[in-house]
Structure 1
Amino acid sequence: MRARVLGTVAVTVLTLAGSVLAQAIPASAARHRPAASSADLPAHALVGYLHASFANGSGYLPISQVSDSWDVIDLAFGAASSPTSGQISFTRCPASECPNRESDADFLAGIDAKRAAGKKVLLSIGGANGEVRLTTTAARDAFVDSVSAIIDRWHLDGVDLDFENQSLSLNTGDDDLTHPTTPAIVNLIDAVEALKARYGNGFVLTAAPETFFVQLGYQFYGPGPNGTSDPRSGAWLPVLYALRDDLTLLTVQDYNSGPIMGLDDQYHTMGGADFHIAMTDMLLAGFPVADGAHHAFPPLRPDQVAIGAPADAYAGNGYVPPATLDDALDCLTKGSSCGSYQPRGGAHADLRGLMTWSINWDAYSGNEFADNFDSYFG
């Protein structure tokens, strides 16, 4: 995701070599409580980020003016007071940057109105500039308490985890995604489980990692046996594995990415339907991690997966026009228009939908992304 800058910045990905043969893996009373179950999402959902704490070049959009097309609204962003404090705050965009922002009272009323209409409104934590590393149990506990306070203050349905850049990495020797030992990984898992326990089944949990932290794990996992790989490689995988039963949606960012090897052992590059198909298929089919000797990442349910794409060319590298995105959806949901890549995980009509950065950029570009979603899914 992008924060406080206009334009696009590509995430640097190391040049990688080698491959492995992929096989599809078989398949408190006074506290605010989210009212609706996470299962109350529509069969096909549209997820978008709302610039709530900054303008980001596309302009501020009051939440009451967000189109009804959006089923999940992620308020961007909650940020840490320091990377390792665990203390998260949510500060609304200042009037100097967002002169048309609504009052706090109107903002809260807008959230309540969206939720009354069946929409989910979440706090998105992190972003491109928001490093969060829960390296201690004290940071873990501060995270739980401070995030809970924000959820309660603004009547939110849950959280979106948008941990990027240096937020997650694996320590040397932490090579089993089913039993992670890196403190920042373990503490994040514990913190999210504590939030889910505090708020119950209505708590909505989404995550929007970059491909570097998920699909790259097919080739490389953490620093590797020789300590020569980037320790962030695949670092989201143990978190997703541990929280797979609590995860409402995974919306990997299929943008701002370097080439990533798919299950066909070929590199796939963003900017076409092929990239979205190959990256999403990895989530639906599952994949062996690193050289295949250290467990596998199991497939997610199709209803847990939404494709992440930029709303327009200003929003991020890897933008594709609606017709190209429709080709990817045709392949993944109907088994048609697949081009050279045939999904190992098959076609899934119940794929949940789409995510975009961002609602603001889509409004700036005439609502092309949302209108296409409505047209495609009816």
Structure 2
Amino acid sequence: MHRTRLTAALAAAVLAAGGLVATATTAEAADAELARNGGFEAGLTGWSCTAGSGVVVGSPARSGSSALKATPAGSDNAKCSQTVTVLPNSTYTLSGWVQGSYVYLGASGTGTTDVSTWTPSATSWQRLSTTFSTGASTTSVTIYTHGWYGTPAYHADDISLFGPGGGPVQTPAAPTGLKAGIPGSTSVPLSWNASSGATGYHVYRGTARVATVSGTSATVTGLTPSTAYSFQVSAANEAGESPKSAAVTATTTAGGGPGGGLPAHALVGYLHASFANGSGYTRMADVPDSWDVINLAFGEPTSVTSGDIRFRLCPVAECPNVESEADFKAAVKAKQAAGKKVLISIGGANGQVQLSTTAARDAFVTSVSNIIDDYGLDGLDIDFEGHSLSLNTGDTDFRNPTTPVVVNLISALKTLKAKYGSGFVLTMAPETFFVQLGYQYYGSGPFGGQDPRAGSYLPVIHAMRDDLTLLHVQDYNSGPIMGLDNQYHTMGGADFHIAMTDMLLTGFPVAGDQSRFFPALRPDQVAIGLPASTNAGNGHTSPAEVNKALDCLTRKANCGSYQTHGTWPALRGLMTWSINWDRYSQWEFMKNFDAYNWS
């Protein structure tokens, strides 16, 4: 900005001094106020607020007679934005006055580094200000203000964008690069390239508009299994809507929904079937009836990259009381006859699996199918830990993974689901590092120095969400994790489990990017993962604290310092490592689950 003003002043001085004709001087745009209706005196003219969250009020107003009031919800941050025409290679100052908790002001589409500034608490009018430079081909930017999910309403007034002026806003061009991701049985993920100047995008299924989003991706849900669909996308801003993009087609997979047959509230446990440790060996027939899902730990690979999974009962030398293969299989059938589900769990801390090739993927499908068929099991539990997804270093969008170990795992799981049909039970037990830490950073992303594996389960969970029976994240052996309240929570108490589970049931931005919002899971798909005793892992939570977490999540009582974004009485239940360790501790975990009043 200073260079523009200096050039104009020098040109004026030269003309005044010598009366010279300035034919060799290129005129530059003068700095001007570019934000339209920044004081909201003309209502919301020029502004677009997500989910109808914004209104204009007369009080409080910082100046004039009006200001913006926008109210976030559990899955909406009340973002109000407008697109402004700018000049390339120019510098701009964005400022505004705000009131409220967690209020943001920012600019996107700058062509260089997008900027934002925020205040955690403004009890009276507080000025926010930031500057940015545009890229060599940037002709428009989007300025915005927003709050935070589930927080009270915020106010904004006198929003200003000052710098070299542009012209009227033009209708954006049709989006390009529309593509469909891996379909589920009832959903199809879509993504496309950004259109310059667009403030939003309309998604069409055939001729029907089915979604409007602010980012460059959407998942169309509510579809019919085994059905072909055609999709198009248009771009829009206050000047109008673009033509539709080229169409893309996708066919949903067979089978509607995840395997069922579980009680409304289920107890899930891992049974040390292939090894012994300090907890001792527990025979399948001796597992109490309270356990609704029994995960056999573990099926393990013949090598890290082979994809070939093998399962065997614990050797007699290690487990003197191990039952015979015939007795074990008979006990599995007896559990199933009683309505229980028995799954093979793949991985564990020592069972590293990397499906880095299609050959490994195919070997995984074949060998896991052999185990399921041989023992007559109900499905599969994925317990990949440590470095199993360590090659996930290039993906920054969980909706469109390209890393081979991730893509091949998704393909393998979909193949198994298609083979066994709607009764196939699929569960996952990732660590918090691979799920909730994606809230802070994901992939190589903008956090280059951070561990690129963080959040690397997100594309697998998202791709399988239509077929996922249960996700029970391990809320243990974890460092502090930031919740949706932007506070760090430490394992071992109710608040940690409340905050981690609330993220799964509310959804969350990935790596702080509002355009990459990880959608909420259904409460019947979520169980809380806990160690059964102090012997079983770091982060043991006392029964009293477990009950506080359940009270808060299912009826919004005993919530402590963390306030949830909803109430979920259909929360599926609890998972523990492990049945063996719970037996060692006189069944404390199981007895507490049995005694808990879910109503």
Of the structure 1 ranges 298-307 and 228-237, higher mean CA displacement relative to structure 2 is found in: 228-237
- Contact 2:393–2:453 (CA<8 Å) still a contact in 1? no
Q: Any conservation in 2 of the 1:176–1:294 contact (CA below 8 Å)?
A: no
The letter of the residue matching 1:351 is: L
1:233-292 deviation digits (Å, cap 9, x = unpaired): 000000000000000000000000000000000000001000000000000000000021
Deviation by residue 1:114-168 (Cα, 9 ceiling, x = unmatched): 0011000000000011100100000000000000000000000000000000001
Q: How far apart are the structure 1 equivalents of 2:290 and 2:419?
A: 30
Alpha-carbon distance in 2 for matches of 1:268, 1:183? 33
Q: Are residue 315 (structure 1) and residue 441 (structure 2) matched?
A: no
**Residue aligned with 2:422, SS:** helix
* Alignment partner of 1:178 is 2:399: yes
Q: 1:325: how far off?
A: 0.3
User: Does structure 1 retain, via aligned residues, the 8 Å contact 2:392–2:453?
Assistant: no
Q: Who is 1:245 aligned against? A: 466
Q: Does 1:361 align with 2:581?
A: yes
**Per-residue CA distance 1:336-356 (angstroms, 9 max, x = gap):** 000010012x11110000000
Aligned pair count reads 351
Pairing of 1:1-378 with structure 2 (within 5 A): 23=149, 38-169=259-390, 171-225=392-446, 227-293=448-514, 295-344=516-565, 346-377=566-597
- Is contact 1:172-1:227 (8 Å) kept? no
> Residue type of the partner of 1:149?
N
Change (3 A) 1:62 1:22: farther
Unaligned runs of 5+ in 1: 1-18, 28-36
Contact 1:170 1:223 (C-alpha < 8 Å) held by counterparts: no
Residue identity in the other structure for 1:132: V
Report the TM-score when normalising by structure 2. 0.57
* Distance of 1:90 and 1:255 partners within structure 2: 26
Whose strand fraction is larger, Structure 1's or Structure 2's?
2
The residue matched to 1:122 in structure 2 has which SS? strand
Cα deviation code 1:206-238 (max 9, x no counterpart) = 000000000000001022236322121000000
5+ residue gaps, structure 2, are 1-117, 121-146, 151-212, 214-218, 222-257
What's the % identity of the aligned pairs? 68
Q: How far apart are 1:40 and its partner, in Å? A: 1.0
Q: Deviation per CA, 1:24-51, whole angstroms, max 9, x where unpaired?
A: 6999xxxxxxxxx822100000000000
Higher relative contact order (CA 8 A, sep 6+): 1
Q: How has the CA–CA distance of structure 1 residues 230 and 109 changed in structure 2, closer, same or farther, with 3 Å as cutoff?
A: same
- Give the letter for the 1:295 counterpart: R
The separation in 1 between residues aligned to 2:315 and 2:597, in whole angstroms, is 37
Q: TM-score, normalised by structure 1?
A: 0.90
Structure 1 window deviating more from structure 2 (294-303 vs 139-148): it is 294-303
1:104 partner amino acid: E
| 2:313 maps to amino acid | R
- Does the 8 A contact of 1:289 with 1:297 survive in 2? yes
1 CA distance for matches of 2:417 and 2:344? 14
Contact 1:52 1:60 in 2 (8 A): yes
CA distance in 1, matches of 2:321, 2:391: 43
The letter for the 1-side match of 2:400 is: H
* 1:34 alignment counterpart: none
The structure that is helix-richer by fraction is 1
Q: d(CA) in 1 for partners of 2:457 and 2:427?
A: 13
Greater C-alpha radius of gyration = 2
For residue 54 of structure 1, give the secondary structure of its aligned residue in structure 2.
coil
Whichever residue aligns with residue 595 of structure 2, its letter is S
